[in-house]
Chain A
Amino acid sequence: MRMKTDERRKGILSAAGAAFREFGFSRTSMAAISAKVGGSKATLYSYFKSKDELFAAVMFEAMEEQGQQVLALLDPSDPDLRGVLERFGAAYLSMLLGAEALANTRIAIAEAESSKLGAKLYDLGPRPFWEAVAAYIETLMSQGLLVAAPPALAALHLQGLLEAGVMEPALFGVEPLLERRGGVKAAVDLFLRRYALDEPSTSGLMGR
């Protein structure tokens, strides 16, 4: 058998990703993917045991690097908390609403009806991402920069505020009603009004 290589693995992931996005998950077969890559089905299966596993790897590959870059914006030593959260929020939404990410999320949701794939993708992506945000929030709480509260719930509030009015239209394939940058500022402002200690609130959008 041929040696497994990173390059070959990458080739499989990119061919599979394109096929999933074009035809959807259920209409894409392992045979079609291996034909596209140009190899035997046996080779394909030596890299990925199942179509579920292959799709999970495609999604992970597409999102992991971006996700880490977005999380890296959460620097607990930066005193400009509002600025940090606004940059994080904008980068998060850009990642979430990118065409590729959106197509992958749609597949994960559609497939959750009949398989464990959706749950697996959630455990690989959103769950650890928001756990990392919660850890950042916990650090700020322990430094006395945010009020004490369950950090995981605070993180989910930040998520809910950032996605409010944006995520649902995007999943349905339409531009949100709310303007993106103003939406992020307003979401962060609201988060800080709830969780910050003595953070002066800007009027901005909220004062309209």
Chain B
Amino acid sequence: MRVKTDERRRGIVDAAWELFKENGFERTTMSEISERVGGSKATLYSYFKSKDELFAAAMEQAILERTDEAFARVGLSGDLERRLLTFAQTYMEMRLAPDMIGADRALIAQADQSDLGVSLLRRLVVPQWKKLAGVLEQEMSAGRLRRADPYLAAMHFRGLIESDLLERRLHGDETITARDIKANTAFGIDAFLRAYSA
């Protein structure tokens, strides 16, 4: 058997994500994916035990690629409001992107039968927001925000910038523009900073 490589794994994940985007999660088969990658199904299964596992890896990669830097940079020095605005816009653009909404819908649609969504939350989403909580905690220690539960504050931040664009988008609203995102995040962050001001 061939040695498994990162490059090959990456090729599989990319091909799978393309197919999920084109045909939806449910209608995409492992055979199609291995055909697109150009290899045997046995090779594919040596990398990913199931379509679920592959989907989780592809979604994780898509999220990390678009937001990991933003989650890292929000903790750097500089004006807090500006940092939060930059972060929130990058995050919301990822969150509302058509492929991410499609993936979210697939996870929500099969929440009854699969724990893919739950494991994504545990492995990726919660740790990412804990990073923001860590940043907020630093701001609290520095006296720029008042003392509070940092993870709860991170959740409030998230709720304020997502509402109600995410809900509308999930329900099929295609009219949300980059300007809407900008205005919404600015207003949400304004509320956040007023409510958490030291």
Contact = CB atoms under 8 A, between A and B. Distances in A.
Contacts of B107: 172
Interface in B121-164: 121, 125-126, 147-149, 151-152, 155-156, 158-164
B168 interface: yes
B195 A190 contact: yes
B117 A178 contact: no
A193 B120 CA distance: 33
Q: From DSSP, what is the main secondary structure of chain B's interface residues?
A: helix
Given A108-B171, A161-B156, A156 B163 contact: yes
B188 A160 contact: yes
Contacts of B163: 156-157, 159-161, 163
A118 B164 CA distance: 15
Given A106-B111, A159-B164, A190-B195, A112 B170 contact: yes
B160 A160 contact: yes
Contacts of B125: 168
Interface stretch (A11-19, A64-72, A74-82, A200-208): A200-208
A183 B167 CA distance: 20
Interface in A29-53: none
A164 B156 contact: yes
9 contacts: A118-B172, A119-B171, A160-B162, A161-B163, A172-B121, A173-B111, A174-B115, A183-B152, A187-B156
A109 interface: yes
A184 to B, nearest CB: 12
A58 interface: no
Given A106-B108, A161-B159, A205-B149, A118 B195 contact: no
Contacts of A122: 167-168, 171-173
A172 B149 contact: no
B155 A178 contact: yes
B97 interface: no
B174 to A, nearest CB: 9
